[in-house]
Chain A
Amino acid sequence: MADQTLDAKGLNCPLPILKAKKALKGMQAGQVLEVLSTDPGSVADFAAFCNQTGNELLKSETAGDVYTFEIKKT
């Protein structure tokens, strides 16, 4: 279960990443941020973001037009 949810639906690159980064800043290590997005580019972008920042991408799922990510802050 996520500790916080960020609704980034309707936003385009780079806003989902910038908003996720901002949300993660205010969270504790070990907490999970759920991000909802409609930007198809965000699938590759969140993988790259987590890879680079060391945060753990627990989930990357597609349901219809909505992409759901779960990021665990390290």
Chain B
Amino acid sequence: MLDSSDNTKKMSIIVTKGTLDWAYPPFILGTTAAAMDVEVTMFFTFYGLQLLKKDLDLKISTLGNPAMEMPMMGMHMKMPNIVSAIPGVDRMATTMMKNLIKKKGVASIPDLREAAIESDIKMVACQMTLDLFELEQKDLIDGITLGGAATYMEGALESDINLYI
């Protein structure tokens, strides 16, 4: 219940990662906070910008996730970093993850992103990252604000929760 803006709780999330698995924590927390009447700002920087692209094509990487295990035929298959060197492994892991997401009733990232837009989450794209990776605002979904570190800081300083994911 948004009584007055003074009492409204605020949260900011810096989103730095753009793989399918790492897209979940920021979108789950952002949409849930918004559902609990928290005013949410998400600041997308570096690889996090991938999550704002019109064409979402997110993948899993087995590299950098040394504790990754995939359930398979009643067992858990370990996926140590070294398997990422094998061609096709990341593609296979992505397919497995997408199948699990469907089977377990977990929201898809496009659905969560849509929910974030519907619940008026303020989404800011890092201007510097756009320049760095030669991306343009037209590559991103509509309704995104462009900004930099100072834009983030202004919101973060008046937030109750600030997360870096």
Contact = CB atoms under 8 A, between A and B. Distances in A.
Interface of A: 10-15, 17-18, 20-21, 39, 48-49, 52-54, 74
A14 B36 contact: no
B13 to A, nearest CB: 14
Contacts, number: 38
B132 interface: no
28 contacts: A10-B105, A12-B106, A13-B28, A14-B28, A14-B31, A14-B32, A14-B35, A14-B107, A15-B105, A15-B106, A15-B107, A17-B35, A18-B31, A18-B32, A18-B35, A18-B107, A18-B115, A20-B35, A21-B35, A21-B119, A39-B105, A48-B36, A49-B35, A49-B36, A52-B37, A53-B1, A53-B36, A54-B1
A49 B1 CA distance: 12
A12 B35 contact: no
Given A11-B107, A53-B1, 15 more contacts: A10-B105, A12-B106, A13-B28, A14-B31, A14-B107, A15-B106, A18-B32, A18-B35, A18-B107, A18-B115, A21-B35, A49-B35, A49-B36, A53-B36, A54-B1
Contacts of B119: 21
